[in-house]
Structure 1
Amino acid sequence: MTRKIADCREYPSEMNCTLTLSGEEDEVVRAASEHAASVHGHEDGPELREQVRAMLKDEKVGV
């Protein structure tokens, strides 16, 4: 299974957040959504989780 990445640095905010999360897709969606709600003030719910899922990138595997 391809690991996914959510990187706050790619989405400018007033907080200049530097958090990067990686893992299996469902884990990253859950953690990134909870982070977006608790740190950035977004409302956690199905709509936010779908937005997060759409922004995920595949983790590049080092050789």
Structure 2
Amino acid sequence: MARKYIDCREFPSDMNCSVAIAADSEDELLNAAVQHAVAVHQHVDTPELREQIRELFKDGTPPLVYR
């Protein structure tokens, strides 16, 4: 399976979050991203949140510098 990532820098927020998460497994990435969304951004872990997050996955690894 190809590496995938999600990058908070792509989504404006009051806290200017700079976290990017990558994993070789979509399930592993989803679990880590949901934990981050709940712990840091105060989202509630719901099936809808999980689907929204999964739709934001990108192939590869996050860029070192976000523009």
Q: TM-score, normalised by structure 1?
A: 0.89
Q: Extract structure 1 runs of 4+ deviating beyond 4 A.
A: none
| Structure 2 match to 1:40 | 41
**For 1:51, what is the secondary structure of its paired residue?**
helix
| Structure 1 match to 2:15 | 15
Q: How large is the RMSD of aligned CA atoms in angstroms?
A: 0.9
Q: TM-score, normalised by structure 2?
A: 0.84
What is the total number of aligned residue pairs between the two structures?
60
Between structures 1 and 2, the one with greater helix share: 1
Q: Once the two structures are aligned, what percentage of the paired residues are identical?
A: 53
Q: Which runs of 5+ in 1 are unaligned?
A: none
**For 1:14, what is the secondary structure of its paired residue?**
coil
Which structure has more relative contact order (CA 8 Å, sep 6+)? It is 2
1:33 aligned partner, one-letter code: V
| Structure 1 match to 2:51 | 50
